[in-house]
Amino acid sequence: MRQQPTNETAGLRPKDDAQPPYLYPDYVATRLRAPKKPLIILPKALSDTTGPAYGRQSIGESDSDLTRQHEGEPLGERIIVHGKVLDGDGRPVRNSLVEIWQANAAGRYTHHLDRHHAPLDPNFGGAGRCRTDGEGLYRFVTIKPGAYPWKNHHNAWRPAHIHLSLFGPAYRSRLITQMYFPGDPLFGQDPIFQSVRDPKARERLISSFDLETTEPEWALAYRFDIVLEGRDATPMEDH
Amino acid sequence: MGSATTPSQTIGPFFHDALLDEDRSELVPPDHPQAIRIEGTVYDGTGDPVPDAMVEIWQANSAGRYDDPEDDRKDLPLDKGFAGYGRSDTVNGGEFSFVTLKPGAVPGPGDQPQAPHIMVSVFARGLLRRVVTRIYFPDEEETNSSDPVLSSIDDPELRRTLIAVDEGGVLLFDIRLQGDNQTAFFEFSDE
């Protein structure tokens, strides 16, 4: 059954039903940061059908391999994370920057404000970037991030995830999201994951185990395809 | 049939190393003869500064042309070295800043002219998806009054939240996520 967000004023329900509402009270930080006035409808114009070609910046060879950015190898399970980026019109998003960041295998970010009592890994920074190729494909080598506690509610833990930042063809297609791993037992109690109310949309945040891309004796692989809003239309599901 | 887009998720508090590993808030050097400085603070619903947001801007160059092949108005010059895109964090007490150029006017819906403006997105912990707003300029009273987007906002107080305030040559643009004086935020229409 599809659940509707209950505490959202009408003008703030996302037009795109795959998107989370601003206010999702179970995620406590939304309570004081979610806008409450109805959104102003912005008619399509060059201001938002254009977008930054930010992917032009140079990308180093080790930027997409987070296991090779330091002197030694990081601890944890080495994985390949890859996928295809499509725009809303079904076209591959080519030569476009993908930026990622994540916790280490123990569930700790290198960030100075992360106070989780888990070890830092001197061989893991947790930040990477790459550009999609001519077919919209991207690929990272990293280690599987650990789950970590946060103070949202009693005994709250975030399911393991990797943050991704994408541009797409236009300013309106800009997306920051999180990729999760299949079968995580923490999905049910995570309000950030659950804030996406459409279960089918929520499933699109979960990568799939990809045996074919796995490299024997070296790394497991997960596939995470991404669909961005296009210049012309909100993409719809195929049936 | 539902939308097939990938859902947004919050940027969280730990994005700095990946997204702001170098300063991206100066779109032109501060000593550029036409440089303008924009400063503001992001506030939450209690009026407290938001110290862990990322503010992004996207704009046309001073001739009103976007650095994107989608803007094919070849009669307008491209400005080599001006990409029109910037990022700022808000670490110190919720403040962000940009050094940039004032954009030229750009066509709007139905080729109706729009007043010069900068597109703004704010990402933060507690924002499950970005908020989108615009910076308009205080010295453009006439063009602002005929701007199709500003004119579509009935509430004059809400409209005023989109116009920067000139304070001794610095343009102030505070972003209030919630509350009586909340900033006007946009939703992209498919039309």
What does the pLDDT look like over B86-137, one tens digit per residue? 999 997 789 999 999 999 999 998 888 999 999 999 999 999 999 999 999 9
- pLDDT value of residue A89: 80
CB contact under 8 A, A52 and B58: yes
Nearest-CA distance A126 → chain B (Å): 8
Q: How confident is the model at residue A59 (pLDDT cuts 50, 70, 90)?
A: confident
B residues 12-31 closer than 8 Å to A (CB): 12-19, 21
Is A198 in CB contact (< 8 Å) with chain B?
A: yes
* CA–CA separation, A180 and A158 (whole Å): 10
Q: Which of residues 154-173 of A touch B (CB under 8 A)?
A: 161, 163, 165, 169-172
Of B4, B12, B134, the CB nearest to A236: B4
Per DSSP, B78 falls in state: P
pLDDT of residue A233: 64
CA distance B154 to B140: 19
pLDDT higher than threshold 80 for residue A155: yes
Contacts of A101 in chain B (CB under 8 A): 14-15, 17-19
Q: Which residues contact A162 (CB under 8 A, 6 or more apart)?
A: A81, A100, A101, A102, A142, A145, A178, A179
Domain ranges of chain A: 20-32+52-227
Q: Residue A4: which pLDDT band, with cuts at 50, 70 and 90? A: very low
User: B46 contacts in A (CB within 8 Å)?
Assistant: 32
Q: Can you give the residue ranges of every domain in chain B?
A: 18-176
Dihedral sign of CA atoms B44, B47, B51, B55 in order? positive
Backbone dihedral angles phi then psi of residue A29, each to the nearest 5 degrees: -65, -15
Q: Helix-strand-coil percent breakdown of chain A, rounded to 5?
A: 15, 25, 60
**How much is the average pLDDT of A53-59?**
70
Question: Is the separation of the CB atoms in B171 and B165 below 8 Å?
Answer: yes
Arithmetic mean of pLDDT, B159-177: 97
Average pLDDT of span B49-67 = 97
* Residue located via tokens 């991206």: B24
Question: Quick one: pLDDT at residue A5?
Answer: 39
- % of residues, chain B, pLDDT over 90: 91
Q: Which pTM was predicted?
A: 0.95
Q: What is the mean pLDDT of residues A179-207?
A: 97
Task: Please say whether the structural domain B18-176 has been given the CATH code 2.60.130.10.
Answer: yes
B85 to chain A: closest CA residue = A52
Pick the CATH number of A20-32+52-227 from 3.40.190.10, 3.40.630.10, 3.40.50.300, 2.60.130.10: 2.60.130.10
